[in-house]
Structure 1
Amino acid sequence: MKLGLQLGYWGAGPNPAHRELVAAAEASGFDSVFTAEAWGSDAYTPLAWWGSATERVRLGTSVLQLSARTPTACAMAAMTLDHLSGGRHIVGLGVSGPQVVEGWYGQKFPKPLARTREYIDIMRQVWAREAPVTSAGPHYPLPYEGPGSTGLGKPLKAITHPLRSDIPVMLGAEGPKNIALAAEIADGWLPLFYTPRLADTYNEWLDEGFAKPGARRSREDFEICATAQIVITDDRDASYAAIKPFLALYMGGMGSEDTNFHAEVYRRMGYSEVVDDVTKLFRSGRKDEAASIIPDEVVDDSAIVGDLDHVREQIGVWERAGVSTMLVSPGSVAEVEQLAALVS
């Protein structure tokens, strides 16, 4: 089992602890550092900033939102960071949801799987640098020749020669078809809410992708980098109470009331009634009550909370379920070192 430090995205401002957490992760043998984005801080700027203070850890995004950048712009950013980091970059991509894509980026949301496939194909053309980049579309046609076009667009080849012609790409996928797509065309899967209890189900979806003609990877060399809330504590009740508001936000407040991909993950876990009740309370402004009604077992399904022996045992459960890296968010240097000792 490997560990990755998940810095996430900022709230109202940057977290002053991130500098020392990144340094501790590098010193303690963590495999990677990841950043995220929603509709505030972007993922690339902090990753480059903190990555410049490291020499060994891989630098990943979990995740970049497809609609935030054109595929060529994303490929340029990835190629640049890969050079600056000496070949340590991982591109983690996700489609987000219609609320963000159409409300924040002003882009169309439909056909997310087809858009993802086309997006990654264009990025890999950029990095391969074998010919000028072209795409027949329909989502990212290059050169653009549609309404409003001057007709002067020209296929181009990247000026910069990539350090690596094949930068790893992972998908932040939640639905069965998207998880299968990750296995078919990507180098890894970045689940946000993962439960080892459903490992057999996940494997069925992944195997569907691995079985596709021309699949990029096999199970043996495919990474599963799962976000894992790990809390080492003797006071489980207090930790449950601290985690539940986060779950209530994602379960009841992300996306629209009838289109929330995070909520669907928990429905697949068997918690449809909980999701319905949390959503009703959260969207009526009763956020504290929404968090309070989440059963402890829901927390336990996708997080690890307990003493050292329990945490060590559960890390083994996640590893046997197929997880290769756990993306964790310790709050102190001591917690970084404690987690590193558990998997050493």
Structure 2
Amino acid sequence: MKLGLGLGYWGAGKPEGVEEAVTAAEECGFDSVWTSEAYGSDALTPLAWLGARTTRLTLGTAVMQMSARTPAATAMAAMTMDHLSGGRFALGIGASGPQVVEGWYGQPYRQPLARTREYVEILRAAMRRDVVQHTGRHYQVPIEGGTGLGKPLKSTLHPVRETIPILIAAEGPKNVALTAEIADGWLPLFYSPYEDSFYRRCLDEGFAARGERPADFEVALPVQVVVDEDVERAADRLRPHIALYVGGMGAKGANFHYEAVARLGFEAECERIQELYLAGRKEEAVAAVSTEMVSRVALVGPVAKIKDELAAWEESLVTTMVVHGSARTVQQIAEIVL
């Protein structure tokens, strides 16, 4: 199991210490660094800026929002990043949810699976430097009903690699199966090594449709690691994060993070957290996140406890554990894991 450094997306502004954390990750033997975006900072600009300080780390997006860019624009960005990094770029994309897609990007959210399939088809064609022609329900290249002057084109940029790895963020069963069928890797969230039979079935379904299970299929998972002699105090650091995603990242009945955590055996707890969060009672929602829930999806507590629990993660589907933190945290995690 490899280690990756997750930088996420910014809050009110550029976070402190990210340059030092990225440098420490490369020095400590991490394999990759990942950025993401929602409706604030974008994923590409910080990754290019910080990636220029590295020579070995894979530079990944986890994730780029599909609705933020056309497939051709995403392919252009991926190929450009691959050139700048000398073939070290990994493209993670995701359909997100209706609140962000419709509320921020002003794009329709309908049929996300069919849209993802078409998006990846166009990406692969563009990155192979094919003449891009696609007639689908969601994308037409060249566009239909325009001036009539558009013509099929191929990239003027010659790719460093014919195949840039494409990873898809997915939580629902059909989306996970689709990821196994068409992508080079999976970006899960709130996965637990103690209860992953659901995801194994979904992936197997997708690999069957694909006709094979690629030996190098990547599973890059964000795993929060908090080292503290007091387990409850360590869990306290993560309760707000889980409460936000379970309770507030999506409308009632349309929150994929809620469903992912509920599938781990916390249906009643998730319902209570969401009820409190949507009612504006955020502190109570945070308090409703149990230590058991935190421990299923994160590594918290003393070093000895974390080392004991690592065995379950190493035997899981995860190929890259993506952790977050300062340069000191990076060094500490590297000592424990590597």
When the two structures are superposed, what TM-score results if normalisation uses the length of structure 2? Answer: 0.98
Asked if 2 retains the 8 angstrom alpha-carbon contact of 1:8 and 1:36, the reply is yes
1:239 matches 2:218:
no
Counterparts of residues 44-55 of structure 1 (less than 5 Å): 44-55=44-55
2:149 is aligned, of 149, 152, 174, to 152
Asked if 2 retains the 8 angstrom alpha-carbon contact of 1:169 and 1:188, the reply is yes
Asked if 1 retains the 8 angstrom alpha-carbon contact of 2:17 and 2:327, the reply is no
2:260 is aligned, of 262, 265, 273, to 265
Residue 299 of structure 2 aligns with an amino acid whose one-letter code is: I
Counterparts of residues 54-203 of structure 1 (less than 5 Å): 54-129=54-129, 131-146=130-145, 149-203=146-200
Q: What's the CA shift for 1:229?
A: 0.4
Question: 1:343 aligns to what?
Answer: 337
Q: What's the CA shift for 1:207?
A: 0.6
Deviations 1:261-314 (A, max 9, x none): 111111211212111111111111110011101111111110110111211222
Alpha-carbon distance change, 258 to 201 in structure 1, aligned in 2, over 3 angstroms = closer
Deviations 1:217-249 (A, max 9, x none): 43x321111110011110211121221111111
Residue 281 of structure 1 aligns with an amino acid whose one-letter code is: L
2:247 is aligned, of 242, 249, 252, to 252
CA distance in structure 1 between the partners assigned to 2:203 and 2:211 by the alignment:
14
Q: What's the CA shift for 1:322?
A: 2.0
Local SS of the residue matching 2:156: coil
CA distance in structure 1 between the partners assigned to 2:49 and 2:289 by the alignment:
37
Q: What's the CA shift for 1:201?
A: 2.2
Asked if 2 retains the 8 angstrom alpha-carbon contact of 1:248 and 1:290, the reply is yes
CA distance in structure 2 between the partners assigned to 1:200 and 1:277 by the alignment:
25
Q: What's the CA shift for 1:334?
A: 2.1
Count of residues paired in the alignment: 338
Residue 57 of structure 1 aligns with an amino acid whose one-letter code is: L
1:285 matches 2:288:
no
Q: What's the CA shift for 1:214?
A: 4.8
Question: 1:328 aligns to what?
Answer: 323
Asked if 1 retains the 8 angstrom alpha-carbon contact of 2:194 and 2:312, the reply is no
Asked if 2 retains the 8 angstrom alpha-carbon contact of 1:230 and 1:305, the reply is yes
CA distance in structure 2 between the partners assigned to 1:97 and 1:111 by the alignment:
11
Asked if 1 retains the 8 angstrom alpha-carbon contact of 2:182 and 2:210, the reply is no
Q: What's the CA shift for 1:325?
A: 0.6
Asked if 2 retains the 8 angstrom alpha-carbon contact of 1:145 and 1:153, the reply is no
Counterparts of residues 287-306 of structure 1 (less than 5 Å): 287-306=282-301
Q: What's the CA shift for 1:321?
A: 1.3
Asked if 1 retains the 8 angstrom alpha-carbon contact of 2:64 and 2:92, the reply is yes
CA distance in structure 1 between the partners assigned to 2:84 and 2:313 by the alignment:
33
CA-based RMSD? 1.1
In the alignment, structure 1 segments of 5+ residues that lack a partner are none
Q: What's the CA shift for 1:53?
A: 0.4
* Structure 1 stretches of at least 4 aligned residues deviating more than 6 Å after TM superposition: none
Residue 305 of structure 1 aligns with an amino acid whose one-letter code is: V
Residue 39 of structure 1 aligns with an amino acid whose one-letter code is: Y
Local SS of the residue matching 1:336: helix
CA distance in structure 2 between the partners assigned to 1:30 and 1:59 by the alignment:
11
Sequence identity percentage? 53
Alpha-carbon distance change, 81 to 118 in structure 1, aligned in 2, over 3 angstroms = same
CA distance in structure 2 between the partners assigned to 1:139 and 1:316 by the alignment:
43
